[in-house]
Structure 1
Amino acid sequence: MTTALPALPAPPALRSWRIPDDGLYEGARVLRRLPEGQRPLTYQSFELTPLGAVIGAEIRGVDLSRPLPEPVRAELDRALLEWKALFFRGQHLTSAQQRAFARNWGELETNPLLAAGDSAEVVRFDKSASAVPTFENVWHADVTFRERPALGAVLQLREVPPRGGDTLWADMAAAYDNLPERVRERIDGARAVHDFIPGFARFYPPERLAALQDRFPPVEHPVVRTHPRTGRRTLFVNASFTTHIVGMASAESDRLLRLLFQQAHVPEFQVRFSWRAGDVALWDNRATQHYAVADYGTHRRVAERVAIAGDRPY
């Protein structure tokens, strides 16, 4: 004779819930580093070590203090398009050598909103306890408030704190790829306004900001930019400079922009680089955003950046 097992209790009723219509509730990420159909590239002139799934690679075997032979320059250009951010350890470039290296990708631009180094083309970031609050610890792409934002930049750390002070980069093509289809449909073809005021208002008195407004009026750029070299669609709004989406009610624009800004925060789309003095980074400003981590307290961190002039986004 068998004894009947007691009936199992009914599972508890769950409260009803739903994913918000514009929420980015996702599981597995689409981590596509290259344009669809393109195979990974091989390099003969240097050793390339990937640092992230979709972005970031360390380059060994290139001396940036010397003029680049054309085969090396061409391969670095290909690597930049593939990896979006390249890192070179222990280069210790002079300011002139840093500018010469950057000119391999075009003419250099100046930025009167930031402190210059030993030339107008060099921006110097000297951060310590006595310095003004940092500009860089927010996700952003450089100078998108210009009609022709920078193509890219070359940054060198002159002095590093004993700990902290890393920089992160995010792949904004991966950020776009992983948006839900309903969100992509809303932003494809949309345009947004970029303005220097939100990024700089907390650092300068109103009279200086007012004097610069005629020189840097607000500009419109596509919310989704097509990269001119790779053809990848990249998310081209950022929390420092994008103020609103054209033709959209303020509340709707604010809500959608907050959602789009969050895409840069996804770790799978990022690479994080820990600096040593003399290290150099080269990145594609058309395809990335970056964030300098301000976690070094009263210690000093000195960096110099050279920006490469870009073209009008489309």
Structure 2
Amino acid sequence: MSVTDTEPSAELREARIPEGGMYEGARVLRRLPEGWQERPYERFELVPLGRTIGAEVRGLDLSRPLAPALREEVDRALLEWKVLFFRAQHLTSAQQCAFARQWGELETNPLLERGAGDDVVRFDKGGDAAPSFENVWHADVTFRERPALGAVLQLRQVPPIGGDTMWADMAAAYDNLPQSVKDRIDGATAVHDFIPGFARFYPPERLAPLQDLFPPVEHPVVRTHPDTGRRLLFVNTSFTTRITGMARQESDTLLRYLFQQAHVPEYQVRFHWQPGDIAFWDNRAVQHYAVNDYAPHRRVAERVAVAGDRPF
């Protein structure tokens, strides 16, 4: 996406976007949806890692199928905390897929390197590997008509230092927007396209055949979570190119401001990996960023994605 440095129009100035895209002071940090009652978890121990996002789940063996009541409780924890961490699971690729399938059908991504099986994506970075494209705030595959519901990521090899992953709570990001900005984006749609996110890393002859498979799509700028009803900011730097029906300068200025919301530390959780750790996140509700600070060491991860529904 091209971003201009021109002055915002009178219409955007009237929207009272804070200077520089940020503002100081207290933020609303509401973890649970409106009317959602706080309840204990009875079948595992849950240790919060962030105020609104991120929790470690202890006492579960993910290599075995979850009983229905346990699966329901893990799902509630995912909805309430948005990303869950499970230490030292050391799942095989087949076990990782089997765990993810308990949330729905799996999807593949032909733009990424395959792992051990068609449903597994492999990230082998550092050393002599190609440059990374994960170290930018994004939600996965929003260029699809039905972006992924969630993802299950396991670290196979961890560098001796660095290589953390960060997640940002996009419900908190929406909650804290000025009302004037909410008024501008509620009901708006934006175009999502895979080309901006991948064009720097692949030759045109590889990308061209995929343009028919993944043409640009439109999604709401603010989506509603189908299970919790939360309002979520649903634009990201990698794939969102413009707001539909808005002049380019207006769109660029507003998107630049909305993209910055993932950078607010109060909305984030950061996880330091050990080999065999699992992260399971709700792709509808978060963005993530793989910190690329470990070269020349290797970082090897495998991800399985659960197919999602059409945002509304």
After TM superposition, the score normalised by the length of structure 1 is 0.93
Counterpart of 2:117 in 1: which secondary structure? coil
Match 1:92 to one of 53, 65, 90 = 90
Q: Which residue of 1 aligns with 2:128?
A: 130
Conserved in 2, the CA contact under 8 Å of 1:170 and 1:270?
yes
Counterpart of 2:167 in 1: which secondary structure? strand
Q: Which residue of 2 aligns with 1:39?
A: 37
CA distance in 1, matches of 2:53, 2:275: 22
Residues 214-268 of structure 1, C-alpha deviation per residue, up to 9 Å, x if partnerless?
A: 1110000000000000000000000000000000000110000000000000000
Shift of 1:37: 2.2
CA distance in 2, matches of 1:57, 1:198: 32
Q: Which residue of 2 aligns with 1:156?
A: 154
Counterpart of 2:177 in 1: which secondary structure? coil
Shift of 1:40: 1.7
Counterpart of 1:217 in 2: which secondary structure? coil
CA distance in 2, matches of 1:145, 1:284: 17
Conserved in 1, the CA contact under 8 Å of 2:15 and 2:180?
no
Q: Which residue of 1 aligns with 2:99?
A: 101
Counterpart of 1:307 in 2: which secondary structure? strand
CA distance in 2, matches of 1:301, 1:19: 46
Shift of 1:38: 1.6
Match 1:218 to one of 212, 216, 219 = 216
Match 1:173 to one of 167, 171, 181 = 171
Q: Which residue of 2 aligns with 1:261?
A: 259
The reply to whether residue 58 of structure 1 matches residue 56 of structure 2 is yes
Q: Give the direction of change, closer, same or farther, for the CA distance of 1:19–1:312 in structure 2 (3 Å limit).
A: closer
Match 1:243 to one of 241, 244, 254 = 241
Structure-to-structure mapping, 1:278-293, within 5 angstroms: 278-293=276-291
Deviates more, 1:247-256 or 1:207-216: 207-216
Shift of 1:41: 2.2
CA distance in 1, matches of 2:55, 2:152: 15
Conserved in 2, the CA contact under 8 Å of 1:152 and 1:282?
yes
Conserved in 2, the CA contact under 8 Å of 1:87 and 1:280?
yes
Conserved in 2, the CA contact under 8 Å of 1:54 and 1:269?
yes
Shift of 1:169: 0.4
Q: Which residue of 2 aligns with 1:273?
A: 271
Residues 168-207 of structure 1, C-alpha deviation per residue, up to 9 Å, x if partnerless?
A: 0000000000000000000000000000000000011112
For these two proteins, the number of residue pairs brought into alignment is 297
Q: Which residue of 1 aligns with 2:17?
A: 22
Conserved in 2, the CA contact under 8 Å of 1:141 and 1:285?
yes
Counterpart of 1:244 in 2: which secondary structure? strand
Counterpart amino acid of residue 242 in structure 2: H
Counterpart of 1:255 in 2: which secondary structure? helix
Counterpart amino acid of residue 305 in structure 1: R
Conserved in 2, the CA contact under 8 Å of 1:35 and 1:230?
yes
Computing the radius of gyration over CA atoms, which structure comes out larger, 1 or 2?
Answer: 1
After TM superposition, the score normalised by the length of structure 2 is 0.94
Conserved in 2, the CA contact under 8 Å of 1:194 and 1:221?
yes
Q: Runs of 4 or more off by more than 4 Å in structure 1?
A: none
Conserved in 1, the CA contact under 8 Å of 2:15 and 2:181?
no
Conserved in 1, the CA contact under 8 Å of 2:163 and 2:292?
yes
Conserved in 2, the CA contact under 8 Å of 1:141 and 1:290?
yes
Q: Which residue of 2 aligns with 1:252?
A: 250
Conserved in 1, the CA contact under 8 Å of 2:165 and 2:288?
yes
Counterpart of 1:262 in 2: which secondary structure? helix
Counterpart of 1:306 in 2: which secondary structure? strand
Conserved in 2, the CA contact under 8 Å of 1:19 and 1:25?
no
Counterpart of 1:299 in 2: which secondary structure? coil
CA distance in 2, matches of 1:111, 1:30: 36
CA distance in 1, matches of 2:255, 2:39: 35
Counterpart of 1:45 in 2: which secondary structure? coil
CA distance in 2, matches of 1:134, 1:27: 35
CA distance in 2, matches of 1:57, 1:82: 10
Unpaired stretches in structure 1, ≥5 consecutive residues:
1-17
Shift of 1:20: 8.8
CA distance in 2, matches of 1:148, 1:302: 27
CA distance in 1, matches of 2:39, 2:75: 12
